[in-house]
Structure 1
Amino acid sequence: MKNKLIILSFLLLLVTEVFAQDFYSVIAENGLVVRDKPNLNAERIGKFHCGTSIKLIENTGIDLQVNDNKKQILGKWFLVTSKSGVKGYVFSGYLLKKEHQWNVGFTCDEGLLVCSTKFSIKKNSFEIFNFQIEAQETKKDTLLLHEAVFNEIGDKLLKIKPRNDLKKIEVYYTRLETLNDWGSIKNSDSIIPKWKGNKPFIKLKAANDIFYRIPTTDYDKVRELTAVEMNLERSPDWDNVGEGWWIPRYMYKGVIAPYEIKSILLKIITTDIHNKTEVSYIEIVMSYGC
């Protein structure tokens, strides 16, 4: 019995170690140097590009302070590894923790160079790492980005380089939900929008002034909360599937209405040196199939 307990404890320890691993994104604009030992005089063995996902092997506990453009950045030496197998010591002050292992969804982070989507709004430049779009368009104060298939915007790294005349930039996040009716009269997308709504915007915290983490979405939890708030009941064909994927359907005002999280919304508020404030939006339209 004692031996069985020892074996069980060992297995639980292994499981804990596997699932307790921490993952980070590199937030050094010009890349993060990798060294063979935890000190600045150690040999350089490589460099991680900005946006690269890495896995923590060991926090050495050794403190390090770096002066970057008249700003002091505090951190420690981390022993890390990349998906491509590069292993060494890096400065943690240029790392931002991830929620998921490596990258979620379709990415092109398979080689040494991390792919990204770049765009601009009112002379401010934006970049979303490990993410691709297939189209973009501008409508009034909103830039629409249509993601490529199954990119999964949650947990992505967002970089914003504000124009020189700004003294403050704030970034907020929410999701746009929809209920639609597949009726006989259809719009250009073959659906008739019946309801749109979104939760209150939440403010995103900046890392090293210009980097942000786009939150992940628990789709089932968000959907069920909306159903409770709107007193929705599941439709008779709740368990039916669409073209290759399952689509939740509710009864809304007497009709069967498929539910979707249609878009991710980012609200950008900028304040210039003359205290003039501008608001713009980025709507990232989610992809649910080919």
Structure 2
Amino acid sequence: MDGTEAGVPEIELSAGVIEYEDTGGEGPVIVFLHGLTIDSTVWRKVVPGMAGEYRCVLPTLPLGSHRRPMRPGADLSLRGLALLVGEFLERLDLREVTLVLNDWGGAQVLVSEGRAERVGRLVLTACEAFDNYPPGVPGRAVATAAKIPGGLWLTMRALRLRATRRAPGGWGWMSKRPIPDEIMDGWFRPAMTNPAIRRDLAAYARSTPPKAVLLAWAERMRAFDRPVLVVWAAEDRLMPREHGPRLAALFPDARLVEIGDSYTLIPEDRPEALVASLRDFLTA
């Protein structure tokens, strides 16, 4: 059943209720995905440059910043969330979608599973790839905290402090430029205040399969023959620079764009450059 809560569109999927934003319109559909403990506001500087000409849809995935807890026992593993993205596209009947990833790379599993029939184009923007799950110190910190009783509660409490948010080696390596406190407050509040959200986050954070499995999944993506754009941050601290060209070489129809003066969150650091790259790709 579809509906809204406080004016926010939502849709009920097998794992639970997913909230999303939708700019509407008759143009081609772009679906923007966000990362761990981040929500769709990470795209707030990009969507205005695309909306109107394109229909932009932004789900809030159960990655720690969602406000609606998932059902107890829902499959929130890496593979489970990838398939949930496919279910979201199907339930909204979205076709020939341009699927845009940033930070979280899990939706690539949808491609490796051969379940990306609704995806017409794929954009991989400075995201997890190959065996880089979870990425860097921030990702490993969440994964470690999820295995310790009370660990995620302590982690989220620490993220109330601006010094923790901008600390080198932590979330400070996500973006070169400070993200407004009110935006980060929105990202961290759900897992900070709701134990059911922390339960969902822990279910995902504990689910990373062995590296051999991750690499096998990546290898299977070679079968995806539709256009792919790989946008990589030249100064990224979390996603290895060599993963950009390596991803582009994986697909039969791919192009690589490197963007300077940015860390992982290119939508935060260089939104205008990302909009230009997206527009060029979509009109090619």
Q: Give your verdict on TM over 0.5.
A: no
**Greater helix percent: which structure?**
2
More relative contact order in 1 or in 2 (CA 8 Å, sep 6+)?
Answer: 2
TM-score, structure 1 as length reference: 0.22
Structure label with greater radius of gyration: 1
TM-score, structure 2 as length reference: 0.22
